[in-house]
Structure formats: structure tokens, C-alpha cells
Chains A and B, each alone.
Chain A
Amino acid sequence: MNRKRKKGISVPSGTILLFGAAVGLLLFSAVGSTRAALTYYSETYSAQIDVQSIGVTLLENNQVISYRDYTHADDEWYEASGKLLQLPEEEKWQIGRTYDAELKVRNSGVIDEYVRVKLYKYWVDKEGKRLPYLSPALIDLHLLTDGGWILDENATTAHVREGDGRDGERIVLYYDRVLTAVDENGSYDETSLFADSITIDSSVATKVTEYKSADGSKITTVYDYDGASFVLEAEVDAVQTHNAENAIRSAWGVDVEIGQDGSLRLK
């Protein structure tokens, strides 16, 4: 019996040591994974592991409006968010008039990237509360999709062309080629324009709601769009070109196909 018990506990010390080391490594590995998972979408975490610098800039009429660039040297994000559709002071927006809104994207980082744009157009009241019963289609943003921009028909809910029955807020566009990093001469790569003008349809001056008094003797006509403000929002997203299909699926949640020449196609 004693011999048997002795045999049971006589595990070699080397094996125990190795097993302990394995458990230790396993725990360490799990902690590392957990950290990675927790900070998977964290910009701070991305910045810390970034040995290069990604950046993107939105331009309107050749003016920088918004940007967000990582600078590795300072380990910081440099960013600014500006206003679209600015008018000279004291000037009011004119119904029916077409205004220039030449929108494009610049790669302001030092690595190549793919970009997409999400646009939202809608109406708000004086407190900024959305007015979903007013038509976004009357905010006529003229899109340009012949210069490399692909309209994501599945994600787009807005009216984008004549005869289009949709009247939602969202437009999603993907640029079908790589936007290269700034070159050694400091020259930035930019997309073609994805929009060039915006017009508030004149019919906003004819849309009314009629209110009838309780006894039916008085009818009051109220202009639906009077005092409402239209809003155009733009969000530009950029992602690395290395392992692009997985990166885009992870970052943007869409499946794309990247060609040998770097061209992007929605699946």
C-alpha cells in the first residue's frame, strides 16, 4: 500500500515545473487577450500600437472642414470638426438657389487607406429636435458617383435620383480605390468630388397644413417648413489597406472584395 501511495505522488519535479509554467503562460495569455478584446475598438489602444499614422480630412469647396489625424511622434490625435454650408455673415439661405458644396476626402495620414462617406440630411426645429415629417428629399444634395464613388444601395435610405421613391436621411458612399499616403513632397492624395451642390427645393414654400376650428368656421393655414432648419451631416471613415477585407469587415461591418489592383467592390 505504501509503495502504491509513494508511486502516486512521485511526479517528476521537472514536469510539475513545466506544468506550472504552462498555466502561468496560459493565464498571462488570457489576460493579454482580454485586454486586446476590451480595447479592440478603442482609439487610444490603436494609437498605442500604431507605429505609423492614419489620418483623414473632409474638404468643402477646397477648404478643410474637419480632420482627424494621428501623429505618432506626439502620440496624439489631432482633430477638428467644422461647419458645412457656411454663408457670409448677414446672408440668408435662399430657397431654390443652388449653392456650391464641393465635397471630397483627403488622406492626411502617412499610410494608405480606404475611405467611405456617410451623409445624413434632415430637418430640425428651433431647439434642434428632428422633424421626421418634413421631407429630406427637398434637401437636394447633388451627388457625383462617376468618379470612383460607389453608392451603397442597401445602406442608403435617401432620395438620390429622379424617380427615386425613397425619402430617408442616409446616403452611404464607398471610394473604390486606395487613397495613398502623403508623398515625400508633401502632396496629398484626394478623392474625386462625391457631391458638388445643394439646393432647397422651392416647393417648401407651398407645403402647408390646414387647421380647422372646432366649429369648422375658421381655417388657419400654416407653412410646414416655416422656421425649420435643414441639416447636412457628413462622416468620413478611413481604414488601413493592409489586410483590407478583414479590416473593413471589422471596422465598418461590411463585406468587400479587394482586387489585385487595390480596387474595392461591395459584395
Chain B
Amino acid sequence: MRQSKGTLLTAAIALAMVTGIGAGSAKAYFTTFATARGGHEITVGPETQITEEFSNWTKHVSLKNTGDVECYVRVRAFAGNAFGLEYTGSEKWYSGGDGYWYYDEIVPAGGETEILDVKIELPQVTDELGNKVPYTEDFNVVVIQECTAVLYREDGTAYADWNGKLESGSDRYEWKEETE
């Protein structure tokens, strides 16, 4: 009888240990996952180069996109007060009413605009003989050119933001010494 009790006790302890240890490890859950990624390179910072040819008191101006990204361009010419400037040439150039002439098409990377003619109207001066003649001595007519990145509205319509200001010197960006 005493042996039987001991046997039962041993068996009970063994059973408890076996079930107790096994209880904590029998958990495994069905799980799965799926992943994906995607993205694209962004190119900003257009670069253009101006070409001027001069004949018949006219500057023949064109711009070439020398960067890697499409852009919009505009030009403006400056001369002394006595000199008049008349803009002609390709119809793709139009006056913005702000002194700039704008090209109405996006210039693709490597592309070039059609020619804008800037005719210089020389002032009349009186020569030694009292005749009215055009003034042809030294003077400067300067043409500046600007380009800006092509931006898009939500619907995909392209536009240029000529009034956008570059942002620098924020908390994140500091002036850095050029290493070269």
C-alpha cells in the first residue's frame, strides 16, 4: 500500500513537470509579410549657356540647355537710356511686360531655343558738318539670361516659378568651406 502511494506520487510529480514545462512552448502563430519599394531620381538645378551673334546692329540671341534637366528660360537686354531696343525674331519669344522676354516652350536637356533678335536703335547725333548721323562710338548692350526648373501642378501641367527664392542658411544647412 505504501509502495503504491509512492508510485502514484512519483507519477503525479512526473506528469506535472512534463505538462508544466511543455505548456510554455506550444505557441506558434501563423504570420506572413510582403514588402515592396520604389522611387525615382530627382534632378533640379538647370544650366544654360547663351550664344550671341552680332550683325546689322542686331544681337541674335539663343540659349542652349547645357544641364541634365529640362528648364524654362528668359532674357533681358540692358542699354543706355539713349539707345532703343527692339525685340523681334521667333514668335516663341514673348514679352512678359516686366522687361524680360520669355521662351514659351520648355527647353529639354541639350536643346536650344530659336533666335531672339535684339535690334539696337542708335541715337542720332550731329557731326562736325552739322548732319544728323547715328551714334556709333563705344557703347554696351548687355543681355542677361536666366533659367529655372520646370515645376508641375498636381494635374501634371508644367509651369515656371520665376519668383521662387532659393532657401539656404536654415537650421539644417550651414555655410561650408569649399574644399578645393
Q: Is the CB of B151 within 8 A of A95?
A: yes
Q: Is the CB of A214 within 8 A of B154?
A: no
**Least CB distance, B21 to chain A, in whole angstroms:** 5
B130 within 8 A of A: no
**Binding-face segment, B40-48, B51-59, B85-93:** B40-48
Q: Is the CB of B35 within 8 A of A250?
A: no
Q: Is the CB of B27 within 8 A of A246?
A: yes
Q: A55-B32, A205-B164 are in contact. Are A210 and B25 (CB under 8 A)?
A: no
Q: In the bound complex, how far is the Cα of B10 from the Cα of A65, in angstroms?
A: 59
Q: A226-B42, A239-B31, A246-B27 are in contact. Are A97 and B156 (CB under 8 A)?
A: yes
B82 within 8 A of A: no
A192 within 8 A of B: no
Q: Is the CB of A98 within 8 A of B155?
A: yes
Chain B residues whose C-beta falls within 8 Å of the C-beta of A236 in the assembled complex: 33-35
Nearest chain A residue, comparing its CB with the CB of B38: A84
B17, B39, B149 interface centre (most CB from chain A within 10 Å): B39
A54 within 8 A of B: yes
B139 within 8 A of A: no
Chain A residues whose C-beta falls within 8 Å of the C-beta of B178 in the assembled complex: 211-214, 218, 220
Q: A211-B176, A231-B38, A232-B37 are in contact. Are A25 and B18 (CB under 8 A)?
A: yes
A266 within 8 A of B: no
A148 within 8 A of B: no
Other-chain residue from A60, A94, A232, A238 in contact with B156 (beta carbon distance below 8 A): A94
Q: A55-B32, A202-B161 are in contact. Are A209 and B173 (CB under 8 A)?
A: yes
B49 within 8 A of A: no
Q: How large is the interface on B (under 10, 10 to 19, 20 to 34, 35 or more residues)?
A: 35 or more
Q: Is the CB of A45 within 8 A of B28?
A: yes
Q: Is the CB of B27 within 8 A of A26?
A: no
Nearest chain A residue, comparing its CB with the CB of B170: A207
Q: A54-B32, A224-B173, A231-B38 are in contact. Are A29 and B22 (CB under 8 A)?
A: yes
Q: A84-B37, A202-B151, A223-B45 are in contact. Are A70 and B22 (CB under 8 A)?
A: no
Chain A residues whose C-beta falls within 8 Å of the C-beta of B152 in the assembled complex: 94-97, 202
Q: In the bound complex, how far is the Cα of B25 from the Cα of A138, in angstroms?
A: 47
Nearest chain B residue, comparing its CB with the CB of A248: B29
Q: Is the CB of A208 within 8 A of B33?
A: no
A-B contacts, 6 listed (Cβ < 8 Å): A49-B28, A56-B33, A208-B166, A208-B173, A211-B176, A234-B36
Which residues of A come within 8 Å of B, CB atoms?
12, 14-15, 18-19, 21-23, 25-26, 29-30, 32-33, 36-37, 39-40, 45-46, 49-50, 52, 54-58, 60, 65-70, 77, 79, 81-87, 92-98, 109, 111, 113, 124, 126, 133, 199-200, 202-214, 218, 220-240, 243, 246-247, 250-251
